[in-house]
Structures are given as C-alpha cells and as structure tokens.
Structure 1
Amino acid sequence: MSTRNPHLPPHGRAKFITDGGLETTLIFHDGIDLPHFASFDLLKTEEGCAHITAYYERYLELAKNAQAGFILESPTWRANRDWGAKLGYDEAALAEMNHKAIALMTDLRDRYHSAATPCLISGNIGPRGDGYVPSDRMTVNQARAYHAPQIVTFAKAGVDLVSVVTINYPEEAMGIALACRDVDIPCVIAFTVETDGNLPSGETLREAIKMVDDETGAYPAYYMINCAHPDHFRDRLKEHGDWKNRICGVRANASRQSHAELDACEHLDDGDPDELGQLYHDLVDLLPNLAVMGGCCGTDHRHVAAMTKHAFPRLAGSAQ
C-alpha cells in the first residue's frame, strides 16, 4: 500500500494554491509555439525546460510569500497516446517525457517545500479527446485501459497524486479513478462545465460526482471544477447536499466566454484578475471543503495573486 501524503485534502489541514493557465500563458504571454496545446513537448530541450521552470517558480514564490501550500501540476496534460502520436511520440518516448516532467516537479518541490509551504506533486493528465467536446466517448473499462500507462508511469515516478482536468463526461472519469485505484495512487477528478453549470455531456455536477463515487467506491480523494468561469457554476453551488463536500478545488477560467466562443477566439481573454480573486472569496462560503485554488484558460500569476489576496486568507483561517 502507498503512503498518503498527510497534507492531501480533504483530510490534511494545509490549504493550497496552484498555477494558472499554463498553455495559454506559454502561447499568448511567452510567444511560444505549442502545437496541440502540448506543453510537455517543451521538455525535450534545455530552453524549453527553462521556460517551464520559470513558469512554476513565479507561482511558488507567491505561495512562499503567502505561506500557502502549493500543488505542482506536471505539464503533462497532453502526454497521452493519442495526443502524443500527433507529435511523433511512441509509448516509450511518452513514458520518458512523463518521467522527465515529474523529475522537474521533484526538483522544484525540493527547493521550495517547507513547513509553511508544503508542496505536493500531482501527475496531471487530460482527456483522451477534446477538452471541450465529449466526442468518441469511451466505456469505463476502455478509459481505464487507455489512461493506465500514464498513470503507471506517474506511480513509478513517485507522485503524491494524479489529477485529471477538463473531463467532460463521467465514464472517462470513472475509468481514470479505477486505473489510479489499480496502482494505489490518490486521484483528483476535475470536471469542466458549460455556461449552464452542467457537464458538456449533460449531467449536473451533483449527478457526475455521484456516478463516479458509485462506480469506484468513492475512490477519488476529492473533486475540482475547472475550465469554466465562476459565473457558470456558482448558482449550482448554492444548492444543498453533501455532494458539495466532495469538491475541494477550483481552477476557473479568466473569461466568461463559453467553450465554443473560447475555441473560436484568436486573442487571449484574460478578464479582470482582481474581480476573479473576489469571486473566489465568495466561493469559500459555497464550498465548505475548498482547499485548492488556481486558474485555467486565460489566467496567469496575476489572477492567482488576486486569489491569494482576496480568498486565501479565509481558507487559511478555516484551517486554524
């Protein structure tokens, strides 16, 4: 049996920030060409590794100054078989890049981890298909088999947890949770929602969480919401029910645009960082177990700094 990190939400007392929109930052702020949104591809060169390291260092300094924990999400969202093949990676080369990503996260963890800033390493995975559209849907067992190689690689590399983000239908989430259970690695499921607060596949957050918990024996350590603006899901969180206790993290978009609008947009909509930080302040009242705050598309260190200013003190106070 693996040993669970004592800081891991929801049972650990530490509260965490994490990074923002890695891919949108690299493309729109750093001017880096990123085919297929695959940030892991940068790790093949020293220059690329330096870009990735500098990106995380900025957030780690925020965490250090705020005395917040930090979750190091590896830059491996696209490092699975289908997306890797588009970039010319076979299974062995993908495993090597996933290992390299975790090694980089380990180095950052070793440099920044402290009693005041506990750092967790998360092996980050993404959906097999498009993050916005639930096309080519897999069965639970198909998803379990498909994502197993990346999850096994992360387990061997010594991650604290596996996080899957921008999941848009429940069966893929179920398969990923079961694949994590197979190797005894804690997992986090982050669902994305449309402007109506429902998954792109139509389920409510309440329904999707129940479906995954029922199928997996409630294996996920916790759930998150990502790749949607708080305006898109805030009203859903005003509903009553214990299901909300399972949501411990939010990684919201900077923009209020729908997924379809973002997909067609040729410029970066980075919204209002300070306003987003204030909206996170309000989410603390709606999510009793909120413990992780970060960003998604369009967000950068300014947005996470605003979250740290407006919302994190309330989280930290709840941990006393």
Structure 2
Amino acid sequence: MESLFLERLRQHPLLCDGAMGTMLYARGVTYEQCFDELNLTQPALVQSIHNEYIAAGANIIETNTFGANRAMLETHNLGHQVREINVRAAKLAREAREISGQSVFIAGAVGPTGRPLQAPDEQRLSDLRAIFREQIEALQIGGVELLILETFSNLAELRQAVLAAQEVGGLPIVAQMSFYEDGHTLSGQSAARVAAVLSDLGVDVLGANCSVGPAMTLDALEEMIDSVKQAAVTSSPLFSAQPNAGLPARIDNRFFYVSTPDYFGDYAIRFVQAGVHLIGGCCGTTPRHIAAMRKALDEHYGDEQLQTTNEQQPTRAITIEQKSVSPVELEMLLPQQGTMTPLQEKLAAGEFVVSVELDPPKGLNPTKILAGATLLQKAGVD
C-alpha cells in the first residue's frame, strides 16, 4: 500500500521547507557549534523555526538532523547520542505540526558522513551503510513519515544511504544529489547518470539540492527527467528540487545568498512545469522564500489543489458567552432522578470498567484528540 505522502505527491506538487542552518545562524548559533545537538540543548529554538516554515505554507518540514549521523556527531564528541538526537528532532517537528494545527508531513533529514571515499572497498561501504542505518532507525522511531537523503556529492555514498533506508524499510525515500556549475557532481557524474542509478535503485523521489541556485538546479532536473523518460522504466520515480538561494556573493568581506523570495516564487512555477513534484529550498533560503513559493503556486494552480496535504476541518471562530441558568433549565440539564449514566451503572454493578487517559493537545486544535476519543468509544472504552 502506497504511503499517504506519495499518494498526495502524485496528485499535486508539495512544498518543502527551506534552510535550517541559515535560520539557526541568523539566531546567533555559530558554525562551530553542532546544529544537531540543539535538538537537545535549545529545542524551543529549533521548534520555532519549524513553526515559521509551517506558517509560511510548507507542506513538508525536515527534522534538524542533517549531520546527525555517528560519523558527523563524533567530530563533536557526540557519537553516543545518535539515537537521542534523532528521536528528539522528530518529536520536535511533530510537536510543531500539532501546535500549528496544520497537516504537514515530517521528513527525516539525512546528510553525508563527511568521510573521504576515494576508491572505497566493500568494508568501508558496509561501514557507511551501518552508519546511515543507525540514524534512519532512530528517525523512524521518532515518527518521521519519509526520508530526505540530501546534499550528497558522492554517488557511491548516496547509494549506501539508499540501501540502508531500504533495509530499514517502511518509509518513502527522497534521494538528492548536489550538482555544480558544470552540471556534474563533485565526484564527476552527470545528472543523467545520477538519475539512472537512483532510478535503478528504486527510490520513490530523486532530484537535486544545494550547491547552486534555482536556474542551475532546473537544468539538472530537466536532464534527470529526460534521462528517466528515455529509459522508459516501468515504474518512473517522482522528482524533487531544493536549490540554494543562488551562489554566495562576497560583499564587504562577507558572503550573502542573493536570490530573492520573488525569484524563488517564479522558479516554483518553472519547476512544476518541468515535471518536478517536490520543491523547496536549501542554504540561504528562509520562510520568506517558502512563502513566496507558496503564493506563486496557489495563484497559478489554485490553493485548493496545492495547499492541503490531508483533509482538514475548516477553521471556525468560537465565541464564548456567559449566560445565567435558571433552576428550571438546570434541572433539565441534569440526569433525571433515579437514572444513571452507563458508566455509573457498570460501577454500581461491580463490572470491570475501562478508562483511557488522553494527553491534551499541544496547541489549540482539538481535532486529533476528539478523533482519538471517538475511536476509543467505538472500541468499547467506558
């Protein structure tokens, strides 16, 4: 059975969030710090960024786990906290969704290990796969609904990440390579070659992210899409694009990403027209870029078609009014004398009673907890 995420993605394009690292840096977190550790040390900060991207209109938010594999965490002496960091990151993203009351998908972000891969032997590849499997298992425990394997510059390493995800199983796989200005990966593969390998591996979604801006990312995606079409595979993958906010420009000895939100809004339409299904942003992008893409997609295709990833109850304003109740009205509201509720009857008869405690919602949206209470009642809970 196909996942809800893939079902929705086949119906219409979905919008992913933008950069996490860019936002953390803007909030005063230095690059010397381990961004992934912030899931434990500054969870409110991480969750606030998730909230901003949801408010901007993202259909998918990624966990703050790009570097949360054992190899990367060991550089900060945190290798023993792989599971804790990833599970907590997934929980923060899920809580942000609950607080917002919006239906968004939670994606587990998985990045490269940072280890050199010149002429890797079978043992080294096996070790890589084990590193990825450990992180992916933790993300799955945390409750992510898909995986985004991103910013890989070595196809052999990405292949091991895909194989690890498939070994764990149960989650849709988005696999993305980074391409440079010459249209090739750092390890020399063309976009067509990458598409062929990832398609043969059977990933659900393949694409490009990071390194370059929207224009060059679109070039890579068009090559990937053409390659898959020409191969005439029986089960064609879907496609994704999460470009940087352009190439960094040096201004007064500082580097800035200069692609504007409006520019990203224009390219959101171009990506969809080219056949891309999942779009979002990478380094340098902010909630403003995602909001511009959301606006462009809604204006071009209609918000009813693109904005909702799950059926949602319409938002209603609630007015609370104080009213005095007369003794006669109060008597009508209370149970008639001599009558008991079903629960009271079971207790009086000495029958076994089943009760279930429900945690209150994190935000103001009661839909989820009410749906759960209804299911429990139908199952026979008293």
- Normalised by the length of structure 2, the TM-score is 0.69
Deviation at 1:279, TM superposition (A): 2.2
Is the contact made by 2:268 and 2:296 (CA closer than 8 Å) also made in structure 1?
Answer: yes
**SS of residue paired to 1:8:** helix
Q: Is the 8 A contact 2:62 2:109 kept in 1?
A: yes
Q: Which shows bigger deviation, 6-15 or 275-284?
A: 6-15
Contact 1:15 1:319 in 2 (8 A): no
Match of 1:19 in 2: 17
Which residue of structure 1 lines up, in the alignment, with residue 35 of structure 2? Answer: 39
User: In the alignment, which residue of structure 1 is the partner of 2:294?
Assistant: 308
Structure 1 residue 305: deviation in Å?
1.5
Where relative contact order (Cα < 8 A, 6+ residues apart) is larger, the structure is 1
Alpha-carbon distance between aligned partners in 2 of 1:161 and 1:190, rounded to the nearest angstrom? 14
Match of 1:201 in 2: 187
Q: Look up the equivalent residue of 1:222 and give its one-letter code.
A: V
Contact 1:74 1:123 survives alignment (8 Å) = yes
Alignment partners' CA distance in 1, 2:12 and 2:272 = 15
Letter in 2 for 1:281: I
Q: Are 1:50 and 2:44 counterparts?
A: yes
In structure 2, C-alpha distance between the alignment counterparts of 1:60 and 1:252, rounded to whole Å: 19
Say whether residues 1:152 and 2:130 are aligned partners: no
Amino acid of the structure 2 residue aligned with 1:51: L
Is 2:209 the partner of 1:223?
Answer: no
Question: Closer, same or farther in 2 for the Cα pair 1:230/1:137, shift >3 Å?
Answer: farther
Pick closer, same or farther for the CA change 1:233–1:119 going to 2, 3 Å.
Answer: closer
Question: Partners in 1 of 2:120 and 2:261 — Cα distance?
Answer: 37
* Residues 318, 200 of structure 1: alpha-carbon distance in 2 compared, 3 angstrom cutoff: farther
Aligned to 2:271: 283
Match of 2:165 in 1: 180
Identity of aligned residues (%): 24
d(CA) in 1 for partners of 2:281, 2:151: 12
Alpha-carbon distance between aligned partners in 2 of 1:14 and 1:173, rounded to the nearest angstrom:
27
> How do 1:100-249 and structure 2 match up within 5 A?
100-112=88-100, 114=102, 118-129=103-114, 138=120, 140-184=125-169, 185-214=171-200, 216=201, 218=202, 220-227=203-210, 228-239=212-223, 241=226, 243=228, 246-249=237-240
Moved more, 265-274 or 49-58: 265-274
Q: 1:255 aligns with which of 246, 265, 270?
A: 246
Q: Encode CA deviations 1:107-143: one digit per residue, 9 max, x unaligned.
A: 12233355xxx3111111100117xxx7557565443
Give, in whole Å, the separation in 2 of the partners of 1:311 and 1:299.
17
Match of 1:66 in 2: none
Aligned residues: 292
Moved more, 137-146 or 120-129: 137-146
Assess if the C-alpha contact under 8 Å between 1:20 and 1:301 holds in 2: yes
Bigger Rg, structure 1 or 2: 2
SS, match of residue 240 in structure 2: strand
For 1:32, give the aligned amino acid: V
Distance 1:138 1:150 in 2: 21
Partner of 2:64: 75
Tell me, what secondary structure is at the counterpart of 1:20? Answer: coil
CA gap 1:136/1:31 in 2 versus in 1, 3 angstroms: farther
Structure 2 CA distance for partners of 1:137 and 1:72, relative to 1, 3 Å: farther
SS at match of 2:108: strand
- Give me the whole-angstrom Cα distance separating, in 1, the residues matched to 2:254 and 2:7: 37
Shift in alpha-carbon separation, 1:223–1:192, aligned structure 2, 3 A: same
Identify the residue that residue 8 of structure 1 maps to in structure 2: 6
User: CA, structure 1 residues 212+238, in 2 after alignment: closer, same or farther (shift >3 Å)?
Assistant: closer
- The amino acid across from 1:178 in the alignment is L
Residues 39-97 of structure 1: CA distance to partner in whole angstroms, max 9, x if unpaired? 2211222xx2111111111111122xxxxx62121000011112111112133x22111
The Cα RMSD (Å) is 2.7
Distance in 2, matches of 1:177 and 1:236, equals 20
Match of 2:354 in 1: none
Question: What letter matches 1:200 in structure 2?
Answer: L
The one-letter code of the counterpart of 1:108 is: A
Q: 2 CA distance for matches of 1:175 and 1:316?
A: 39
Summarize the Cα distance change of 1:207–1:149 in structure 2 as closer, same or farther, 3 Å threshold: same
Q: Residue type of the partner of 1:78?
A: G
CA distance in 1, matches of 2:140, 2:2: 12
Amino acid of the residue matched to residue 187 of structure 1? I
